[in-house]
Structure 1
Amino acid sequence: MKYLCPLQFYQMPKIFLKNTLLATAISLSTLMANAQQVHEPNLNKPEWSAAYQPFRIAGNLYYVGTYDLCSYLITTPKGNILINTGLAASAPMIKANIEALGFKLSDTKILLTSQAHFDHMGAMAAIKKMTGAKLMVDAGDSAVVNDGGSSDYAMGGSDTMLFQPVKIDRILHDKDVIKLGDMQITMLHHPGHTKGSCSFLFDVKDEKRSYKVLIANMPTIITERSFSDIPAYPSIASDYAYTLKAMKGLSFDLWVASHASQFDLHKKHQSGDAYNPAAFMDRKGYDDNLDDLQKEYDQKMNTTGK
Structure 2
Amino acid sequence: MATLAAVSLVVSALAFVHVYAQDQPASWSEPQKPVRIFGNTWYVGTRGLSAILITSPTGAVLIDAAVREAADGIASNNTSVGVRLEDVKLIVNSHAHNDHAGAIAELQRRTGATVAALPWSAEALKSGKKYAGDPQFESPTTPPERVAKVKTIRDGEVLRAGGVEITAHKTAGHTPGSTTWTWRSCEEGRCVDIVYADSLTAVSADKFRFTDNKTYPHVIDDFTRGYAFLRSASCDILVTPHPEASDFWPRIAKRDGGERDALIDRTQCARYADRADAQLQKRLATERAK
TM exceeding 0.5: yes
Partner in structure 1 of residue 39 of structure 2: 59
Quick check: 1:91 aligned with 2:74? no
1:160, distance to aligned residue in structure 2 (A) = 7.7
Q: Give CA deviations for 1:141-178 in whole Å, capped at 9, x if unaligned.
A: 12211222321523436x98522111343211111000
Quick check: 1:279 aligned with 2:259? no
Aligned residue-pair number: 276
Query: For 1:283, what is the secondary structure of its paired residue?
Result: coil
Q: Which one is further off, 205-214 or 227-236?
A: 227-236
Distance 1:271 1:305 in 2: 42
Distance 2:166 2:28 in 1: 26
Quick check: 1:125 aligned with 2:105? yes
Give 1:16-35 correspondences, 5 Å limit: none
Distance 1:8 1:55 in 2: 29
Partner in structure 2 of residue 222 of structure 1: 203
User: What amino acid does structure 2 have at the position aligned with 1:54?
Assistant: P
Partner in structure 2 of residue 201 of structure 1: 182
Give 1:26-45 correspondences, 5 Å limit: 43-45=23-25
Distance change (3 Å), C-alpha of 1:204 and 1:260: same
Give 1:148-187 correspondences, 5 Å limit: 148-152=128-132, 153-156=134-137, 162-187=143-168
- Tell me if the contact between 2:126 and 2:148 (Cα under 8 Å) persists in the aligned partners: yes
Partner in structure 2 of residue 12 of structure 1: none
Distance 1:241 1:248 in 2: 11
Quick check: 1:232 aligned with 2:241? no
Query: For 1:56, what is the secondary structure of its paired residue?
Result: strand
Distance 1:276 1:72 in 2: 22
Distance 2:233 2:30 in 1: 32
- Tell me if the contact between 2:156 and 2:170 (Cα under 8 Å) persists in the aligned partners: yes
1:43, distance to aligned residue in structure 2 (A) = 4.0
Query: For 1:52, what is the secondary structure of its paired residue?
Result: coil
Distance 1:6 1:220 in 2: 11
Q: Give CA deviations for 1:79-135 in whole Å, capped at 9, x if unaligned.
A: 111110000000111111112222222211100001111001111110101111000
User: What amino acid does structure 2 have at the position aligned with 1:163?
Assistant: P
Partner in structure 1 of residue 26 of structure 2: 46
- Tell me if the contact between 1:116 and 1:149 (Cα under 8 Å) persists in the aligned partners: no
Distance change (3 Å), C-alpha of 1:229 and 1:146: farther
User: What amino acid does structure 2 have at the position aligned with 1:256?
Assistant: V
Please, which runs of 5 or more residues in structure 1 have no aligned partner? 10-39
Partner in structure 2 of residue 263 of structure 1: 246
Distance 2:154 2:259 in 1: 33
Distance 2:65 2:258 in 1: 23
Q: Which one is further off, 141-150 or 41-50?
A: 41-50
User: What amino acid does structure 2 have at the position aligned with 1:141?
Assistant: S
- Tell me if the contact between 2:94 and 2:198 (Cα under 8 Å) persists in the aligned partners: yes
Distance 1:276 1:147 in 2: 45
Distance 1:199 1:277 in 2: 26
Q: Say which of 69, 80, 89 aligns to 2:49.
A: 69
- Tell me if the contact between 1:106 and 1:130 (Cα under 8 Å) persists in the aligned partners: yes
Distance 1:129 1:174 in 2: 26
Distance change (3 Å), C-alpha of 1:117 and 1:195: same
1:182, distance to aligned residue in structure 2 (A) = 2.5
Q: Percent identity?
A: 25
User: What amino acid does structure 1 have at the position aligned with 2:233?
Assistant: L
- Tell me if the contact between 2:197 and 2:238 (Cα under 8 Å) persists in the aligned partners: yes
Q: Say which of 9, 15, 27 aligns to 1:6.
A: 15
Comparing both chains, which one has the higher relative contact order based on Cα–Cα distances under 8 Å and sequence gaps of 6 or more?
Answer: 1
1:279, distance to aligned residue in structure 2 (A) = 2.0
> How big is the alpha-carbon RMSD for the aligned residues of Structure 1 and Structure 2?
2.7
User: What amino acid does structure 2 have at the position aligned with 1:194?
Assistant: T
1:272, distance to aligned residue in structure 2 (A) = 9.9
Q: Give CA deviations for 1:1-28 in whole Å, capped at 9, x if unaligned.
A: 231142249xxxxxxxxxxxxxxxxxxx
Distance change (3 Å), C-alpha of 1:216 and 1:272: closer
Distance 2:109 2:42 in 1: 22
- Tell me if the contact between 1:141 and 1:195 (Cα under 8 Å) persists in the aligned partners: yes
Distance 2:224 2:131 in 1: 23
Q: Which one is further off, 241-250 or 79-88?
A: 241-250
Q: Say which of 219, 222, 227 aligns to 1:244.
A: 227
- Tell me if the contact between 1:226 and 1:300 (Cα under 8 Å) persists in the aligned partners: no
